A and B are shown apart, each in its own frame.
Chain A
Amino acid sequence: MKAFAELYRRMDDTTRTNRKVAAMVDYFRQVPAEDAIWAVRFLIGRKPRQAVPTRKLMSWAANLAGVPDWLFESSYDVVGDLAETITLLLPAAKTASNRPLHMWVQDHLLPLRSMEIDDRRRFVVTAWQQMDDSQRFVWNKLITGGFRVGVSQRLVVRALARFSGIDGAVIAHRLMGEWPATAETYHRILSPDTRDADISRPYPFFLAYPLEDPVTELGRPENWLVEWKWDGIRGQIIRREGQVFLWSRGEELVTLKYPELAQDAARLPDGTALDGEILPWKDNRPLPFGELQRRIGRKTVARKLLQEVPVIFMVYDIMESEGADCRARPLRDRKAILSERLADIPDSRLRASPEVAAPDWEAYAALQAQSRQRGVEGFILKRWDSAYGVGRRRGAWWKWKVDPLTVDAVLIYAQRGHGRRAGLYTDYTFAVRRGEALVPFAKAYSGLSDAEIRRVDRFIQRNTLERFGPVRSVRPELVFEIAFEGIRKSSRHKSGVAVRFPRILRWREDKTAAEADTIETLHQLLKEAVQGKR
């Protein structure tokens, strides 16, 4: 645990990726495989589930620290991070634990969830007593289910590749899917023999980069395949050795959540891997993403939901055909192979994403402007000669998204943020005008610069009207332009609408609250969305 806590500290202390990679390489050099595999698992974001209810944990920590619960909560409010608050409040550590990471995880952390609550308390308190501050912090992060390091899977792969000499793409491939955190797995991940093929293992997704320059900079449109950017969940269907696996981009096996897709995919020949979008679909058009969300949270789905929110798999690409990796072949060839595959399984829920044909970029732009009306997010542009790559790269694939909807809204509530923004008021609720009143309609957390956040924070501190627990109502003076991707009717919101992915576009310091948009503006946007004008 010492080495892992030190690794965490080093990664946490720097924003520079090369230092993070160096810290990981140092770590892999010094720990046994049993520890390294747990570290890999946690670093790539497969954190353990919360092992103790937050309330309980807070009260055990407050009790051990000798502070009343309310003072613990005030402290938490300032620190903005539960694991850290506990670490800062616990009595000074007397010792550091020499027990290796895998033993802490296997013998202390994993059993917690199935224990009686009193035993959990005993285990957690004992752990605190055996650890120093940096170990406590990491331990707290693990048991609260909040373990997160500012590191992408790509960086972990880079570190493992540098440490082992194995090609990064091979490691990325092996890290996907499900594997037990054992020394054997670690050795397999770093094995120089790269022929291993687990039948369930998906390919790393190739992702499009947001278009930065005018689309005309891309050259002749004939060199590009233009497809709609469908608004669902990116997924991958694997058909091998008589089995079907459906993966989501979050590297989660979701086969059981979409049984209708699994059923149709079973008609594919063995040795097939398809890239596509899990899309809620009815009456020949996509349903709003919000409908799909009703199915995301469940392991299995009831018949009723299957009928209400049917899905299709809109297929973009094929990575494996007849058991062979075809990612290096040009997109034109892959599309040809794909249409053969799909032609073999007519009337299925697996459909080829259609090519959008237009004579020139100008015509494409006109079509792109109708995206909302079609229930899509814009276009994806792919070079006809492009290979299926790994990760998000500039050049071969671009996403050309439709501009968001926007309104000018007034900041009315604020709450302190977490993580890097802990302690500052960064979580805002925005309202639009209705007559003389203000109606809240969206929460947004991102979009301001650090300097702006500090200024807004100061404003909030000085202009608080009331406090409701951690939430403050503030003098309604600041106006922000809020962008969002979609709007739909909602009976659960005071404003009568729910917006999708709201964020702050800019601070409208030139506007007063009286000049903010009204509820009518939102209703108009809703009306246009329903009529398909936007």
Chain B
Amino acid sequence: MNTIVTNTPAGLYCRAGDFHIDPRQPVKRAVITHAHADHARWGCRSYLCTRESRPLLRARLGPDVAIQDLAYGETVSVHTVRLSLHPAGHILGSAQVRIEQDGQVLVVSGDYKDGPDPTCTLLEPLRCHTFISESTFGLPIFKWPRQGDVIRDIQSWWQRNREEGRTSILFAYALGKAQRILAGLDPLSGPILAHGAVEKINRSYRDADVHLPATRYLGEVEDRQLLREALVIAPPSADQPAWLKRFPQSSRAFASGWMRIRGNRRRRAVDRGFVLSDHSDWDGLVQTIRATGAESIWLTHGYAEEMARWLREEGHRAEALPAPKPANDDDAGENP
């Protein structure tokens, strides 16, 4: 597909630098765009990521794994290529990978979003010759409402539940989405409780000087009145009868880009679906891709075929990479 990077069963591979990007199988050297599980996998001999990503990666991979880090924008030479990591705006520490060889520049976007997010560095538009972009939400039906409006909706949903004596349970991916929502909430509105998986990552975020409102670990709270007034933030996997038993009265909500589609909201059978994603929507993808000025565009994840075809009809050179996992999986690309 390209002289700098090729698509292999193990993932994108840079031959000249002898490293993989977000490999799907154990390899010698892995460059990691961000710490979500479907991008940062076990078993590689060494890892390279951003400084901000490193503690998150360490928490996921354990203390014995060799992890190197780079500051955003810092360039290293790997054999004959020059490698640097640049903000992707997806979650804390998320990066686009920029590879330069003989004056040719290729960028692997990783997951990204172009909207505001108080918990991570904003997406940096990069110029390049070849752009490998994600396309998780690469259909024009995906248009995000303004984040401020969504947070306000969450806030008022919480208030109404409080008034009616119901716990507000908000399901959101534990890494990134949960903190992004937390950062927007008004701590004076009531107690904010975090599921263990979320609270663990909150600590990492706070260690990285991301400002989050005070939260309490749900497991320590026994006061029933407090529970009724609280907003509980938990990963989607917690949405099980056994876990829910502790809340006699509750309203359940899910925050995800997939909530844009009514069928998804209904299938989740939650009381509310908040449209909030850490990926770009259609317009964001198109703008970001155009801003690269790339001559050649590769799409991966989600609706890659559709996005590629549309770009071609717009006069770009664009192709879909063979999908690493099925599109439209309920949590494709959003799964921490």
**A interface list, Cβ under 8 A from B:** 12-15, 65, 67-68, 70-71, 74-75, 78-81, 84-85, 88-89, 92, 419-424, 450, 454, 458, 461-462
In the assembled complex, which residues on chain A have CB atoms less than 8 Å from the CB atom of B9?
A: none
Binding-face segment, B28-36, B209-217, B321-329: B321-329
Nearest residue (CB) in A for B313 is A68
| A75 adjacent to B141 (CB under 8 Å) | yes
**B interface list, Cβ under 8 A from A:** 139-141, 143, 260-264, 266-267, 269, 271-272, 303, 306, 309-310, 313, 326-330
Given the known inter-chain contacts A84-B261, A422-B262, please indicate yes or no for A462 contacting B141, CB distance below 8 A: no
In the assembled complex, which residues on chain B have CB atoms less than 8 Å from the CB atom of A421?
A: 263, 267
| A461 adjacent to B271 (CB under 8 Å) | no
In the assembled complex, which residues on chain A have CB atoms less than 8 Å from the CB atom of B143?
A: 88, 92
In the assembled complex, which residues on chain A have CB atoms less than 8 Å from the CB atom of B269?
A: 15
| A71 adjacent to B310 (CB under 8 Å) | yes
Bound: A461/B330 CA distance, A:
12
Given the known inter-chain contacts A71-B306, A454-B330, A461-B327, please indicate yes or no for A89 contacting B263, CB distance below 8 A: no
A149 → chain B, closest Cβ, in Å? 12
6 contacts between A and B (CB under 8 A): A71-B306, A78-B261, A84-B261, A88-B261, A422-B264, A461-B329
A81 → chain B, closest Cβ, in Å? 7
17 further A-B pairs in the complex, CB-CB below 8 A; given A68-B310, A74-B139, A454-B330:
A14-B271, A15-B269, A70-B309, A71-B140, A74-B303, A75-B141, A78-B139, A78-B141, A78-B303, A84-B262, A89-B141, A420-B263, A420-B266, A422-B263, A424-B263, A458-B329, A461-B329
Bound: A169/B261 CA distance, A:
38
In the assembled complex, which residues on chain B have CB atoms less than 8 Å from the CB atom of A419?
A: 263, 266
Nearest residue (CB) in A for B262 is A84
Bound: A74/B313 CA distance, A:
15
In the assembled complex, which residues on chain B have CB atoms less than 8 Å from the CB atom of A420?
A: 263, 266-267
Q: Which of B140, B260, B266, B326 contacts A461 (CB 8 A)?
A: B326
Nearest residue (CB) in B for A71 is B310
| A423 adjacent to B271 (CB under 8 Å) | no
A134 → chain B, closest Cβ, in Å? 11
Given the known inter-chain contacts A81-B263, A421-B267, A423-B263, please indicate yes or no for A75 contacting B272, CB distance below 8 A: no
Given the known inter-chain contacts A458-B329, A461-B329, please indicate yes or no for A423 contacting B261, CB distance below 8 A: yes
Given the known inter-chain contacts A68-B313, A71-B306, please indicate yes or no for A79 contacting B263, CB distance below 8 A: yes
| A423 adjacent to B328 (CB under 8 Å) | yes
In the assembled complex, which residues on chain B have CB atoms less than 8 Å from the CB atom of A81?
A: 262-263
In the assembled complex, which residues on chain B have CB atoms less than 8 Å from the CB atom of A68?
A: 310, 313
In the assembled complex, which residues on chain B have CB atoms less than 8 Å from the CB atom of A13?
A: 271-272
Bound: A532/B326 CA distance, A:
48
In the assembled complex, which residues on chain A have CB atoms less than 8 Å from the CB atom of B264?
A: 422-423
Nearest residue (CB) in B for A12 is B262
Nearest residue (CB) in B for A450 is B267
B273 → chain A, closest Cβ, in Å? 9
In the assembled complex, which residues on chain A have CB atoms less than 8 Å from the CB atom of B328?
A: 78, 423, 461
Nearest residue (CB) in A for B266 is A420
B255 → chain A, closest Cβ, in Å? 16
| B329 adjacent to A89 (CB under 8 Å) | no
| A71 adjacent to B271 (CB under 8 Å) | no
Q: Which of B261, B272, B303, B330 has the most CB of A within 10 A?
A: B261
A444 → chain B, closest Cβ, in Å? 19
A26 → chain B, closest Cβ, in Å? 15
In the assembled complex, which residues on chain B have CB atoms less than 8 Å from the CB atom of A85?
A: 141
In the assembled complex, which residues on chain A have CB atoms less than 8 Å from the CB atom of B260?
A: 88
In the assembled complex, which residues on chain A have CB atoms less than 8 Å from the CB atom of B266?
A: 419-420
Bound: A367/B261 CA distance, A:
51
B320 → chain A, closest Cβ, in Å? 13
A501 → chain B, closest Cβ, in Å? 25
In the assembled complex, which residues on chain A have CB atoms less than 8 Å from the CB atom of B327?
A: 461
Bound: A78/B272 CA distance, A:
21
In the assembled complex, which residues on chain B have CB atoms less than 8 Å from the CB atom of A74?
A: 139, 303, 306
In the assembled complex, which residues on chain A have CB atoms less than 8 Å from the CB atom of B141?
A: 75, 78-79, 85, 88-89
| A422 adjacent to B271 (CB under 8 Å) | no
Nearest residue (CB) in A for B142 is A88
In the assembled complex, which residues on chain B have CB atoms less than 8 Å from the CB atom of A75?
A: 139-141
Bound: A132/B145 CA distance, A:
14
Nearest residue (CB) in B for A68 is B313
In the assembled complex, which residues on chain B have CB atoms less than 8 Å from the CB atom of A88?
A: 140-141, 143, 260-261
A351 → chain B, closest Cβ, in Å? 46
Nearest residue (CB) in B for A422 is B263
Q: Which of B139, B262, B271 has the most CB of A within 10 A?
A: B262
| B261 adjacent to A422 (CB under 8 Å) | yes
In the assembled complex, which residues on chain A have CB atoms less than 8 Å from the CB atom of B329?
A: 458, 461
In the assembled complex, which residues on chain A have CB atoms less than 8 Å from the CB atom of B313?
A: 68
Nearest residue (CB) in B for A137 is B262
B220 → chain A, closest Cβ, in Å? 32
Nearest residue (CB) in A for B269 is A15
Which 9 pairs between the two chains have the least Cβ-Cβ distance? A422-B263, A461-B326, A88-B141, A420-B266, A75-B141, A74-B306, A423-B263, A75-B139, A67-B140
Nearest residue (CB) in B for A417 is B263
Q: Which of A71, A84, A462 contacts B139 (CB 8 A)?
A: A71
In the assembled complex, which residues on chain B have CB atoms less than 8 Å from the CB atom of A65?
A: 140
A250 → chain B, closest Cβ, in Å? 26
B180 → chain A, closest Cβ, in Å? 23
| B263 adjacent to A80 (CB under 8 Å) | yes
A526 → chain B, closest Cβ, in Å? 38
In the assembled complex, which residues on chain A have CB atoms less than 8 Å from the CB atom of B310?
A: 68, 71
A408 → chain B, closest Cβ, in Å? 27
A165 → chain B, closest Cβ, in Å? 26
B244 → chain A, closest Cβ, in Å? 15
Nearest residue (CB) in A for B326 is A461
A436 → chain B, closest Cβ, in Å? 29
Bound: A65/B142 CA distance, A:
13
Nearest residue (CB) in A for B261 is A79
In the assembled complex, which residues on chain A have CB atoms less than 8 Å from the CB atom of B303?
A: 74, 78
Bound: A158/B263 CA distance, A:
27
Bound: A454/B268 CA distance, A:
11
In the assembled complex, which residues on chain A have CB atoms less than 8 Å from the CB atom of B306?
A: 71, 74
B141 → chain A, closest Cβ, in Å? 4
